[in-house]
Amino acid sequence: MKNILEGKTKKLIAQGADEILMVFKDDVTADENGFNPGANKVGFKMDGIGLENLKLSTFFFEKLNATGIKTHFLKSDFDERTMHVRKANLFGNGVEVICRFAADGSFVRRYGQYARKGDLLPAFVEMSLKDDLRNDPMISKDALIAFDIMSDSDYDTLVMLTRQICLVIKNECAKHNLQLIDIKLEFGRDPHTNEIMLIDEISTGSMRVYREGESVEPFELTQTLLSD
Amino acid sequence: MKNILEGKTKKLIAQGADEILMVFKDDVTADENGFNPGANKVGFKMDGIGLENLKLSTFFFEKLNATGIKTHFLKSDFDERTMHVRKANLFGNGVEVICRFAADGSFVRRYGQYARKGDLLPAFVEMSLKDDLRNDPMISKDALIAFDIMSDSDYDTLVMLTRQICLVIKNECAKHNLQLIDIKLEFGRDPHTNEIMLIDEISTGSMRVYREGESVEPFELTQTLLSD
């Protein structure tokens, strides 16, 4: 990896051989209808959302680490708006793992013959390639194996870990009367042990949350989830 | 099913409770670049191609039936441009099973990060929903199961049958120095025995074939494959 990588919502800076500093930006992804965590390009700046997302990510990573789920999280510095994380090897050029508790967004656009918006789904997992140029295409297990991006058992491990992690997040939402609709996660491997670990962030930029059928906006979401 | 169903390239007419008459039309699917078996709408008429496709389908169905693979084929009447087939229950509203021996078309558009046009693939199988409105979206095994379109073992059976069938077709192509790039099949169930069988057609409208790197057009393809 280069020393500095500029992402859509974060800047990544290498810190020695094994660590990365993630700087959380105030940019959010959006589509033609406004803020959309599933969108593929930066839409606009939202002053202060970087720090909020850092706090929310930190909250979830600490919770997950405490339950024994391996993540890349080391520590956060809210003053600097940074998170220190373990360096990870990606699956291919990056794979997004999506977990759905209710049908919405692209899932309904694709499968409207069989699913209506709001239909409950049992922690349904699907994967897409990180590929902005091709709009993050969905990819099957067989294709991931054919391209040598992961093995059959890696895929099953990712599905199992995703369900474990997303249930923790769903339960946190439920405590505040919020419904987690869908969320995307990213995983990598520890370069030394080869263990699979959760990477990237867990924030308003990666989940769709409703309260009584209405989408909850980023600031309201972090403030609600981080309140006692 | 209604008594008469008008498809893009065939008309289906119910014949009693258990049989359907498929009338092969001269319409071919196309996109903005001309004839494309993967396209989703009728592009233009090609005089006489209906009969050619009926002949080619008959040739392959007879060959497959002879090897013990169950298909819906009963008999063809070339004068009437019709094929008599067993009525079948679809998987959901119809699922297309695609088998790829080389990367091309939508596969390269989706997975260009990992596959270049012409890369050999080992009888790679993927499935899409028949849904013109949503452009036949690709669908994973897990989603097919979640929507109750098929079971886990149905999926595995379809993959296995598809590979068997497509190897027969690939070998026929190879006899004439033609390279089968990709092909789509459709399956259904015998309403009486519940057995899975190959349905629809196997014709120039469902396969992409190259000779020395160049696409082979429909008439040339049927005439080559049906020559001794």
Chain CA centroid to CA A70, Å: 15
Are B24 and B123 in a shared domain?
no
Contact B131 A122 (CB under 8 A): no
Domain check: are A119 and A199 in the same one? yes
Identify the domain boundary among B86, B112, B134: B86
Q: Are residues B9 and B119 in the same domain?
A: no
The set of residues, in sequence order, having a beta carbon less than 8 Å from that of B194 and lying 6+ positions away, is none
Query: Across residues A164-177, what is the average pLDDT?
Result: 98
Q: Give the per-residue pLDDT at A157.
A: 98
Residue A23 falls inside a structural domain? yes
B222 inside domain:
no
Q: How far is B5 from chain A (nearest CA, A)?
A: 19
- Quick one: pLDDT at residue A35? 81
**Has residue B28 been placed in a domain?**
yes
Task: Identify whether residues B81 and B44 lie together within a single domain.
Answer: yes
**Sorting pLDDT into bands at 50, 70 and 90, what band is B63?**
very high
User: Does the pLDDT value for residue A37 go beyond 80?
Assistant: no
Nearest CA in chain B to A100: B143
Whether residue B228 lies inside any domain: the answer is: no
Among A67, A86, A105, residue at a domain's last position: A86
Query: Residue B58 pLDDT > 90, yes or no?
Result: yes
User: Closest approach of chain B CAs to the CA of A110, in angstroms?
Assistant: 6
Task: Verify whether the Cβ–Cβ distance B143 to A126 is below 8 Å.
Answer: yes
Query: What is the ipTM score, two decimals?
Result: 0.91
Residue B212's domain comprises: 89-216
Quick one: how far is CA B8 from the chain centroid?
13
Does residue A3 surpass a pLDDT of 80?
A: no
Residues A108, A53 share a domain: no
- Same domain assignment for residues B203 and B143: yes
Which letter, b or e, does each residue of B51-61 get, where b requires 16 or more Cβ atoms within 10 Å of its Cβ? ebbbbbbbbbb
pLDDT grade for A228, boundaries at 50, 70 and 90: confident
- Reported as a single tens digit per residue, the pLDDT across A114-150 is 999 999 999 999 999 999 999 999 999 999 999 999 9
Give the strand pairing for B82-86 and B196-199: unpaired
Scan for tokens 């071919």, then name that residue: B28
Shared domain check, B147 and B131: yes
Is residue A135 within 8 A of residue A101, CB to CB? The reply is no
Residue B70: name the closest of B167, B184, B196 by CA: B196
Distance separating the N- and C-terminal Cα atoms of chain B: 39
Mean pLDDT over each residue of chain A, to the nearest integer? 95
What pLDDT shows up at residue B2? 63
**Identity (one letter) of the amino acid at A166?**
C
Q: Given A109, A126, A133, which is nearest B142 (Cβ)?
A: A126
Residue of A nearest to B156 (CA): A142
Amino acid in the structure at residue A40: N
Q: Check B149 against A122: CB less than 8 A apart.
A: no
Beta-carbon contacts of residue B214 (< 8 Å; ≥ 6 apart):
none
Of A26-40, B53-67, B111-125, B173-187, the least confident: A26-40
Query: Which positions in chain A touch B134 (Cβ < 8 Å)?
Result: 109-113
How confident is the model at residue A41, as a pLDDT? 79
Please check whether residues B132 and B206 belong to one and the same domain. Answer: yes
pLDDT at residue B8 in the model = 87
Q: Looking at the structure, tell me whether residues A81 and A102 fall in a common domain.
A: no
A56-93: pLDDT as tens digits: 999 999 999 999 999 999 999 999 999 999 999 999 99
Please indicate, yes or no, if residue B223 is contained in any of the structural domains.
no
> Any idea what the CATH number is for the domain that residue B198 is in?
3.30.470.20
Asked whether residue B73 is assigned to any structural domain, the reply reads yes
Please say whether the beta carbons of B53 and B22 come within 8 A: no
Q: Is residue B13 part of a domain?
A: yes
Does residue B225 lie within any of the structural domains? no
Q: What is the CATH number of the domain that holds B65?
A: 3.30.200.20
Domain-terminating residue out of B86, B115, B138: B86
Domain count, chain A: 2
Query: Do B80 and B110 reside in the same domain of the chain?
Result: no
Q: Per-residue pLDDT for B85 more than 80? A: yes
Same-domain check for residues B94 and B156: yes
Residues 6 or more apart whose CB falls under 8 angstroms from that of B49 comprise: B26, B28, B204, B218, B219
Shortest Cα–Cα distance, A81 to chain B (Å) = 33
Read off the DSSP letter of residue B199. Answer: E
Is 70 exceeded by the pLDDT of residue A2? no
Q: What is the pLDDT of residues A191-217, one digit of tens each?
A: 999 999 999 999 999 999 999 999 999
* Sign of the four-CA dihedral B110, B113, B117, B122: negative
Residues B78 and B11 in one domain: yes
